[in-house]
Amino acid sequence: MSLDITQIPRDPLWLAHRYVESKDAVQFRHVTRDEHRSATFVVDDYLPQGRTPIEFDRRQALAAATPPAPVHFIFHSAFCCSTLLARAFDREGLAMGLKEPAILNDIVGWRRRGAAGRDVAEVMDGALRLLARPFAPGEAVVIKPSNIVNGLIRMMMALRPDAKALLLHAPLPLFLTSVAKKGLDGRLWVRKLFVGLRKDGLVQRLGFDDEQFFGQTDLQIAAAGWLAQQALFAELVQALGPRVRTLDSEALLDAPQAAVAALARLYDLAVDDGTVREIVASSFGRNSKSGAAFGRADRNAEYADAGAAHRDELEKVTRWAEVTAERAGIPTTLPGGLLP
């Protein structure tokens, strides 16, 4: 590959990959569209190895970058088909879906280590501009951040007043089942998520102190994290109105064509019924992570097996979470639905 490094900030095939806070620099990494499609997420573990990133001063990169495309978001609370939807909106001539870009995680980490809010907003604005470099004329960019970014949703939507966002979640029993069926890895992951949500000030609204949280089981901590994100999503609907819509994973899978069509309208993407059918046919019915055939019946069977194995714990924690939600005034069914 012949490389003219001066063109890197202009070329969307050079992903704005990492933020280096110590240098106020951005690392770019070459990722083709096919490599985007094959990667579960655009993070180091899933990208081709052996390619040296190219580092630019952040301000110099922004000065050289092309004008951004329209940008929209899929925010989520995990285990809810968000990767599937991001893949669905990777369609040449229409939009490009970016799955959990690492640069956004870097900004979250920097903020949690004490970076000033004004500085975080400036760097986030630049990161969104670099992620939104259009892959082809007329295409939008749909970004699906990791849910560790959720504490910055308000900032991101304020920085992009024309952006629309879907707030996607799994129903609580399915979320808890997802955690349980992943075994120790799932239980460790929700505790790590909870620590981040606590740093972002999002779990305090549940009414427990640290000693009480310390005494809770893994699945209670998982439920607490789900409730904290659910409360955030409800507040975003109230604050941002029609700019954000909500959807749960089961409604998506029950009516994929209606959901894709409604989301395209929310994002102001021009699609006809035939295009919607093609998107659904090419995206649904496969495992969103591996790409292997995986239909609704396979998914239901997998969850039924995990639910049976952990039934007692799941039923008790679900009831505990419902009582906690009622006491804290957190809706388990979100307002602002994408579908009627």
Which pLDDT does position 295 carry in this prediction?
Answer: 75
CA neighbor of 78 nearest in space, from 237, 214, 248: 248
Distance CA 75, CA 334 (A): 14
Whether the per-residue pLDDT at 270 is higher than 50: the answer is yes
327, two tokens: 């006491």
75: helix, coil or strand?
strand
For the stretch 143-178, pLDDT in tens is 999 999 999 999 999 999 999 999 999 999 999 999
For the stretch 20-71, pLDDT in tens is 999 999 999 999 999 999 999 999 999 999 889 999 999 999 999 999 999 9
Judge contact between 165 and 86, C-beta under 8 A: no
Distance CA 75, CA 129 (A): 18
Q: Which CATH number fits the domain 67-328, given the four candidates 2.60.120, 3.30.300, 3.40.50, 1.10.287? A: 3.40.50
**Long-range CB contacts for residues 183-188, cutoff 8 Å, separation at least 24:** 187/218, 187/219, 187/222
Distance CA 340, CA 338 (A): 7
For the stretch 276-297, pLDDT in tens is 999 999 999 766 566 666 778 8
Distance CA 337, CA 340 (A): 7
User: Domain-by-domain residue ranges, the chain?
Assistant: 67-328
pTM of the model: 0.95
Whether the per-residue pLDDT at 1 is higher than 50: the answer is no
Across the range 102-113, mean pLDDT stands at 98
